[in-house]
Amino acid sequence: MPDRPRRIPEATVARLPLYYRALVEMAEQRTPTVSSERLAEMAGVNAAKVRKDFSYLGSYGTRGVGYDVEYLLFQISRELGLTQDWPVVIVGIGNLGAALANYRGFSARGFRIVALVDADPAKCGKEVGGLVVEPLADLPRIVAERDVAIGIIATPAAAAQEVAGLLVSAGVTSVLNFAPTVIAVPPGVSLRKVDLSIELQILSFYQQRRDEAAEGRRVAFGGLT
Amino acid sequence: MPDRPRRIPEATVARLPLYYRALVEMAEQRTPTVSSERLAEMAGVNAAKVRKDFSYLGSYGTRGVGYDVEYLLFQISRELGLTQDWPVVIVGIGNLGAALANYRGFSARGFRIVALVDADPAKCGKEVGGLVVEPLADLPRIVAERDVAIGIIATPAAAAQEVAGLLVSAGVTSVLNFAPTVIAVPPGVSLRKVDLSIELQILSFYQQRRDEAAEGRRVAFGGLT
DNA sequence: CCGACCTTGTGACCAAATTCTCAAACTCCC
DNA sequence: GGGAGTTTGAGAATTTGGTCACAAGGTCGG
């Protein structure tokens, strides 16, 4: 048993998947070793950060050489829990839920979508991405029988909190929320959120700042209107 | 002209959309004022953070009373650039791109999808979410004619960097990348990314930690297998 | 108009994350 | 085997973000 109780900073955890992706690519090209600099470039961060991040996992590199791609890939996979596969349920099969159900990137990383659930009886029974949509009432049974640990919420905002509650009482301990609302989960349950329009709003903020700055310069320098 | 060169921390900018959403909700209920505490609850943060965040924007509250919902909403909208509407182009009309094209949450915040673009000739001419898919070759013209400032990339990873380049040379200065790969844009262009499987991987990390901890306890206490 | 009560705004402190820096440790070539 | 060249690992310094605590400034009832 390795010495587990190392504490890995959240910011580092959030970058591990980037390194993972870069390493998978290197492994596919049969590159035996990689430097922190090269890896940094591929992951879009800087080299010092890469090395510091890896130092939290352990000393897996060799000075003067770099990191062994296969070995590091294994260590990161293990750390991220990607050596096993995780049964996932998606609740809310609208446009977004259906797109997620069809998304190939999940299964590639060991996330296996085992059930699609929707409250709308009209949607139940339909097939989406190779699975039949099941009624919300069956959620507890589905989670228990198929050993689901991760739930994805892709419902409208109004239903999200209720669904989160159902997921948690059914036994799900990790929740990914796509609904544009804040939801609460009890301690001991992980929650992450993805909000599409928030990302656009952040872009809008900086975009507007640039536009204003440009406007300011144009006026200041007395350019033509 | 307000005193603009206030520097607003990135972390604060990322939370403004949360406050915005909460305030819209309060405004709909005709609530005239709101305290930092109430707002904190709705946005899922703590009250001190709310007040500190608002203090970067200016002193818009009244001691002993709280914040005027309408006024604060206006200030935040203005700050986020939501008082104007932003023409958006989506490149890559697969499952995800189509879901985004149909997503109602964008238009509700002033993001108007004005074009859908795909490299696949088979997809061009088809209608998705009320728009006809146009060929990638027309991107420069589309961006110029429709004054597009924001581009969304929803292509496969392999095409993302090339599309980013096309968007930027066409004049787009804000890019939201859904493709599971790192892309580079020149300075002066904003880039944000949403990676669906990365979020799951982060959940997987913590999920696995919990499972291991539970396992450790079970073994340590000599529970039944 | 006064005193009890609320709630903001912010300075001071604390924690987390990032960057800098360089000794240590390795390879490779001669 | 020794010296030049690489590259890691990690302590120190810096920057950024978060929390605390409370004075300042407001309301409101009497």
pLDDT digits (tens, 9 = 90+) for B158-178: 999 999 999 999 999 999 999
Residue closest to A198 by CA, chosen among B185, B38, B22, B74: B22
| Half-sphere CA count of A207, side-chain side, radius 13 A | 28
pLDDT digits (tens, 9 = 90+) for B51-67: 999 999 999 999 999 99
Q: What is the pLDDT of residue A17?
A: 98
Cβ A103–B96 below 8 Å, yes or no?
yes
- Describe the strand order of the beta sheet including A61-62 as a list of residue ranges: A33-34, A66-68, A61-62
Q: Whose CA is nearest the C1' atom of nucleotide D9?
A: A55
Q: Which two tokens stand for residue B94?
A: 């697969």
- Distance separating alpha carbons of residues B26 and B163, to the nearest angstrom: 40
Distance B18 CA to D6 C1' (A): 47
Residue with the larger pLDDT of the pair A109 and B221: A109
Distance B89 CA to D2 C1' (A): 62
B67 touches strand C (CB under 7 A): yes
Q: What is the CA radius of gyration of chain A?
A: 22
Report the DSSP beta bridge partners of residue A53. Answer: none
Q: What is the pLDDT of residue A2?
A: 41
Q: What is the pLDDT of residue A216?
A: 77
Question: Would the pLDDT of A56 be above 90?
Answer: yes
Taking residues A110-138, report their average pLDDT: 97
Residue A225's pLDDT band, with cuts at 50, 70 and 90, is low
**Nearest nucleotide, C1' to the C-alpha of A61?**
D8
Residue with the larger pLDDT of the pair B1 and B16: B16
Question: Would the pLDDT of B219 be above 90?
Answer: no
- Give the C-alpha distances (Å, rounded to integers) separating B109 from B9, B40, B113, B116: 22, 21, 11, 19
Q: What is the pLDDT of residue A223?
A: 58
Q: What is the pLDDT of residue A152?
A: 98
pLDDT digits (tens, 9 = 90+) for A67-83: 999 999 999 999 999 99
**Nearest nucleotide, C1' to the C-alpha of A45?**
C18
pLDDT digits (tens, 9 = 90+) for A140-193: 999 999 999 999 999 999 999 999 999 999 999 999 999 999 999 999 999 999
pLDDT digits (tens, 9 = 90+) for B97-131: 999 999 999 988 999 999 999 999 999 999 999 99
DSSP states along A138-177 = GHHHHHHHTT--EEEE-S-HHHHHHHHHHHHHHT--EEEE
Residue of chain A whose alpha carbon sits nearest to that of B191: A203
Taking residues B20-36, report their average pLDDT: 96
pLDDT digits (tens, 9 = 90+) for B196-209: 999 999 999 999 99
pLDDT digits (tens, 9 = 90+) for A189-206: 999 999 999 999 999 999
Distance B59 CA to D22 C1' (A): 18
